[in-house]
Chain A
Amino acid sequence: MAEALFYALALTALYGAGNVIARRHALVAAVHLALTLFALSGIYLLLGSPLLAFLNLLVYAGAILVLFLFVIMLLDLRRDEPWPLDLRGKLGPAAAFVLGVEALALAFASGDGGEGPAYRETTDQSGEILFGQYLFPFEISGLLLLLGIVAVLVLARRGPRPAPPSSEGTAGVPEPMAQAHP
């Protein structure tokens, strides 16, 4: 039962992933990424990691994806990328990489072989590892988040305000854009 569910969710995730890279419009691609993320949350649950499944929904599908949707709608793209894509000289390297990664994964997996044991971790275990062995990296990642906030604020600043107000209308993007992302 759980096996069938795993394969069904895996196929759903791959279908969504394929659509993310093959759909023309960024909005459609982002919604398909949401499909992939929901399927992956189910897979994390089946793999015995309920904490990660929950955080995946909360952070990825909740925060990151909504940020994407905001930006896509904010930019209101008029000029799409040329379609169908110009694939000359790109398809070969991409296919080679895809096949290479798959071969590498199968090579690694053959060492890990066999059926996974029934495994289920608890949030207690994750917490003890996170706040014990990995306490320093955890603090560092907090610092990284802070740096990210500062970097985004610097990037989002409109710079020194252009002196002539007449040039505002041609080059400028409406003011609310500066506050649109955290």
Chain B
Amino acid sequence: MTVPTAHVYALGAALFALGVAGFLVRRNLLVVFLSLELMFNGAIVTLLGAARARATAEPSTFALFVIFLAAVEVSVGLALVIALFRLRRSVDSDAAASLRG
């Protein structure tokens, strides 16, 4: 396959940026976490683009660590969401505003 590396990077950046946009704009905490997953995947695509550009398996092995991290992040994050839901009966991120100054 002869796709320019720039296009692979652009796809990774677009996924990451869409994830950030969702993270900033949405209030539903579950969708916020889905946006986080988009960001992780953008990072993985970028790592794979680098692996191909340099013809070494190192960046794509590093991408495995991203997946490990995502698994831990999701389980802890969803546990927090459920804890918040028990407390406030809502998964709106505005429901957790007790510390607002």
- A residues touching B (Cβ–Cβ < 8 Å)? 2-3, 6-7, 10, 13-14, 17-18, 20-21, 26, 29-30, 33, 36-37, 40, 43-44, 46-49, 51-52, 55-56, 59-60, 63-64, 67-68, 71-72, 74-75, 77, 79-82, 85, 87, 90-91, 93-95, 97-98, 101-102, 104-106, 108-110, 112-119, 121-122, 125-126, 129-130, 133-134, 137, 141, 144-145, 147-149, 151-152, 155-156, 173, 177, 180-182
Contacts and interface: CB of A to CB of B under 8 A. Distances in A.
Given A94-B21, A116-B4, A155-B83, A126 B60 contact: yes
A47 B3 CA distance: 9
A144 B24 contact: no
Contacts of B3: 2-3, 6-7, 46, 115-116
B96 interface: no
Contact of A64 (B5, B28, B74): B74
Contact of B52 (A48, A59, A94, A155): A48
Contacts of B30: 26, 29-30, 68, 71-72, 75
Give the size category of B's interface with A.
Answer: 35 or more
A98 B8 CA distance: 16
Label chain B's interface by main secondary structure: helix
A42 B7 CA distance: 16
Nearest to B83: A155
Contacts of B74: 64, 67-68
Contacts of B5: 109, 112-116
Contacts of A18: 18
Given A52-B48, A67-B75, A81-B27, A129 B61 contact: yes
A49 B78 contact: no
A182 B31 CA distance: 20
A17 B15 contact: yes
